[in-house]
Amino acid sequence: MPVRSLAVAAAATLTLAGLAGAAHPAFSPADLRYARQAVPANDGWASTGAGTTGGSKADAAHVTVAHNRAELVAAVAGDTPKIVFVSGAIDLSVDADNHHRDCASYADPAYRLDDFLAAYDPAVWGRTAKPSGPLEDARARSAANQGLTVKVNVGSNTTIVGINHAHLSHGSLLLAGVSNVIVRNIQFSDAADCFPAWDPTDGDTGNWNSLYDLVSLTGATNVWIDHNTFNDGDNPDSDQPLLFGRPYQVHDGASDIIKASDLVTVSWNAYSNHDKTMLIGSTDTVGVDLGKLRVTVHHNKFDNVLQRAPRVRFGQVDVYDNYYIATSPDYQYSLGVGVQSAIYAQNNYFKLGQTPAGNVIHYWKGTAITATGTLVEPAKPVDLVAAYNAAHDPDLIPDAGWTPTARTHVEPAWAVPALVSLLGGSH
């Protein structure tokens, strides 16, 4: 081939490569505009204080795309302003070669579930003390081993946005001691704990408890969780056995907000088919949470979630324009009134089926809750506090003692099911 033809061929190849790159860019200008959004002015508690801008001011060198766990872990670390696109499906339980790790791969050599069950059967171990000894130690080592892989620590000043139907599975996004973080447009599924802990002293019957929330805020300030989808994926709780007469619960929270976290807006998310959904405050002890745990929960869909939507301690929590589908026979409650909590619930819509309206609110040692503008399908106005008080004791005062101001728009409850079903969740 003549030299000139070679040059032409090379140029053509380069041009095609360039075109191919342009035709399939990592993210679009519209994606980048979306990722550079801060929480809107007045949109809930996250818009107050220092405000929540996440990584919106990132320079071009700090706009990256993560396609697997290792890229995600590296991209979200540190406090430099940064935008991290999560592209497509990412399994967070993988080895260095990005191959899936199953539960057996995390188990300590000294851990076997059968041995654990034999040792801590209430008939053998009793019900007054938590498990201790070599088998419990082996379980704890196994759990720690899994945690090293499946927990992803997010730094401050970060925006994480999903593209290409982003889906994070088998792991936990951890916002610990950080501030100014935005998480949008991602599906989170099945952060299953391979090694649930048995606590015979939890409640009257004991419980199996797990470690990993899909998204976990602990000591996190100014956070916006928006347009995400949360569920148990292809690992529903109904597939798990009863052990010691209790469900072997491998899932913890969907999006828990604990340990002095503050100034959080949780908006337009779709939660479905999950048990413990949103815990705000994890201890009754009066301490670091006092004056914190201020969260706005608006335009979310809670579809067949069984409890904690949300359960609140200490915080002033604004819960408006949410759609609850609470028809499951396993449904427990939606609004948990914990110690010194101040829930202001307005214009929420409930589909209850056979569930009594008096069960929507649950007493967890709080004293008061505001609940106004509630509709129960088919669009019947219901006073949730009066319904609770008629069915349960102690009675709750129907006034949480504060009125939310950081709100952008409040729709009437009748409009909420269609709005959040059409516009909520990740896409």
Classify burial at 124, counting beta carbons within 10 Å of its beta carbon; exposed 0-12, middle 13-18, buried 19 or more: exposed
Residue 253 in the binding site for Ca ion (CB under 5 A) = yes
C-beta closer to Ca ion: residue 82 or 259:
259
* Interface map 333-372 toward Ca ion (x if CB under 5 A): ----------------------------------------
Among 14-22, 136-144, 286-294, 395-403, which window interacts with Ca ion (CB under 5 A)?
395-403
What does residue 267 show for φ and ψ, rounded to 5 degrees? -130, 145
C-beta closer to Ca ion: residue 88 or 219:
219
Dihedral of CA 122/126/130/133: which sign?
negative
Is 308 labeled as catalytic in the residue annotation? yes
Residues 160 to 219 in contact with Ca ion, rule: CB under 5 A: 213
Distance separating alpha carbons of residues 394 and 425, to the nearest angstrom: 36
Q: How far is the CB of 312 from Ca ion (least distance, A)?
A: 14
184, 294, 308, 311: which one is catalytic?
308
Contact 240, 248 (CB under 8 A): yes
C-beta closer to Ca ion: residue 43 or 213:
213
C-beta closer to Ca ion: residue 153 or 389:
389
Q: How far is the CB of 247 from Ca ion (least distance, A)?
A: 16
Q: Compute the 3-state secondary structure of the chain and give helix, strand, coil in percent, each to the nearest 5.
A: 25, 30, 45
Among 7-15, 124-132, 283-291, 385-393, which window interacts with Ca ion (CB under 5 A)?
385-393
Considering only 2, 97, 393, 405, the residue that binds Ca ion (CB under 5 A) is 393
Q: How many residues bind Ca ion (CB under 5 A)?
A: 7
Among 4-12, 145-153, 254-262, 397-405, which window interacts with Ca ion (CB under 5 A)?
254-262
Contact 321, 416 (CB under 8 A): yes
Q: Could you tell me the two tokens for 311?
A: 């359960």
E strands, 270-326, are: 270-276, 279-280, 295-298, 301-307, 311-312, 316-320, 323-325
Report the 10 Å Cβ neighbour count for 276: 21
Among 163-171, 176-184, 229-237, 392-400, which window interacts with Ca ion (CB under 5 A)?
392-400
Residue 252 in the binding site for Ca ion (CB under 5 A) = yes
Distance separating alpha carbons of residues 358 and 76, to the nearest angstrom: 43
C-beta closer to Ca ion: residue 190 or 213:
213
Which residues make up the interface to Ca ion (CB under 5 A)?
213, 252-253, 256, 389, 393, 395
Q: Which residues are catalytic?
A: 308
